[in-house]
Amino acid sequence: MVRAMYVSDLALSDYRNYADQVVRFERGVTMLVGRNGQGKTNLVEAIAYLATFSSHRVSADAALVRSGAPGAVIRAKAVEAGRERVIELEIIAGRANRAKLNRSPVKTREILGIVRTVTFAPEDLALVKGDPAERRRFLDEIAIMRMPRYADLKSRYDKIVRQRAALLKSGRTSGLEVWDLQLASAGAEISQIRAQLVADLAPHVAEAYAALAEGAVAGVQLAPSLETTEERYGLETGAASLEQRMLTAVQKVRQRELDRGLCLVGPHRDELALSIGDLPARGYASHGESWSLALALRLASFTLLADDDPPILILDDVFAELDSRRRSRLAQMVGAAEQVFVTAAVEGDVPEELVGRTLRVDAGTVTEVSDE
């Protein structure tokens, strides 16, 4: 049987509160315990960052660099089927990241996909209660891990939106047609990828929510906005047809875009519509239902990614937010992972099913806890 990928070694330099720290890991469950603010989440955040080049806690990379340092370095050894690869990512505030693979400089996109993670964290409640941008980010992170080239596509599209918005704000129309074509072309491809992703996720979300919420029903649906027509599109819409429809919609809202200085059509305005029963989750779901749905989204992404190769599971202080029933159900459902990281301030918050090797984190220093 081929073993799934896991991280055996992690070295951090000037990352958050870690000046210089090296930690060795094993397969199975690793518990990171310690008081709040000591660096438990920073450690697992660094591992997750290698998967998507983004943090589940902050939007700006500058926050990842230790105060007073010019940059931070994350270095990890990823092991898969007996093959070891050393990946290194240098984060420089205000500049592009730099990467190495087996100590040789490479383009950053060449290390995407080597480490794959699914992270559960208190911030996940925003997937249900937060703005649409949170849910778009959720989809994009999964898309990057399934298809690393998506990162370049999304970066190119974001640049198109910024450049086009700058032109709209200036009030000039000369050159807009060129940006319209580029937005429609890249936007159609992104929308097609997201539509396929949501279709693949939907049955797993329904199954996970039913398990967490004792048979209750939940659903997910991509709700892209073509503002002028209120059209909805899915897998049945070909990329060429969708591109033309986006272009037509862009042209119809030209004056409104000029008035507001904003790009009003495209996947940057997509919404992932979540429902519980017949009602939209946002605004109607209780706190418990929202937590169950957020967990179901993460579990569904794990199940989907595990079809190819089980990702690393990161459970970041999530058990403190759950009642005993949800704790136990979550613990039972993540048993298929090759490697699991659990952070907790109180060991008693972690279900017995997930007890494993324990590391103590104290002021940016990691030590092993003896079984004695």
Any domain includes 37: no
Average pLDDT over residues 135-155: 94
pLDDT class of 117 with cuts at 50, 70, 90 = very high
CB 306 within 8 A of CB 201: no
- What type of residue is 171? G
Any domain includes 225: yes
Predicted confidence (pLDDT) at residue 146 exceeds the cutoff of 80: yes
Q: What are phi and psi of 316, to 5 degrees?
A: -95, 95
Any domain includes 369: no
Any domain includes 177: yes
Predicted confidence (pLDDT) at residue 229 exceeds the cutoff of 50: no
- Cα 196 to the center of its chain, rounded Å: 17
CB 77 within 8 A of CB 84: yes
Any domain includes 39: no
- Domain of 237? 128-308
Say which CATH number the domain at 190 has. Answer: 1.20.1050.90
Any domain includes 81: no
**Considering only CA atoms, which of 94, 4, 7 is closest in space to residue 49?**
7
Give the C-alpha distances (Å, rounded to integers) separating 37 from 40, 219, 222.
Answer: 8, 36, 37
Tell me the sheet residues that pair with 361: 366
Model pLDDT, residue 13: 96
Three-state DSSP at 172 gives: coil
Average pLDDT over residues 294-316: 91
Give the C-alpha distances (Å, rounded to integers) separating 343 from 29, 162, 346.
Answer: 11, 38, 9
What is the per-residue DSSP string for 248-293? Answer: HHHHHTHHHHHHHTS--SSGGG-EEEEEETTEESTTT--HHHHHHH
Three-state DSSP at 61 gives: helix
Predicted TM-score (pTM) of the model is 0.90
**Considering only CA atoms, which of 227, 254, 158, 234 is closest in space to residue 194?**
234
**Considering only CA atoms, which of 198, 219, 182, 192 is closest in space to residue 293?**
219
Tell me the sheet residues that pair with 98: 90
- What type of residue is 361? V
Three-state DSSP at 205 gives: helix
Model pLDDT, residue 361: 93
The more confident residue out of 82 and 227 is 82
Predicted confidence (pLDDT) at residue 290 exceeds the cutoff of 50: yes
Model pLDDT, residue 78: 96
Of 177-186, 208-217, 299-308, 354-363, give the range with the top mean pLDDT: 177-186
- Specify the number of domains making up the chain: 1
Model pLDDT, residue 225: 65
Any domain includes 319: no
Model pLDDT, residue 228: 39
Average pLDDT over residues 169-192: 91
Give the C-alpha distances (Å, rounded to integers) separating 142 from 51, 136, 161, 307.
Answer: 10, 10, 22, 13
Any domain includes 194: yes
CB 277 within 8 A of CB 217: yes
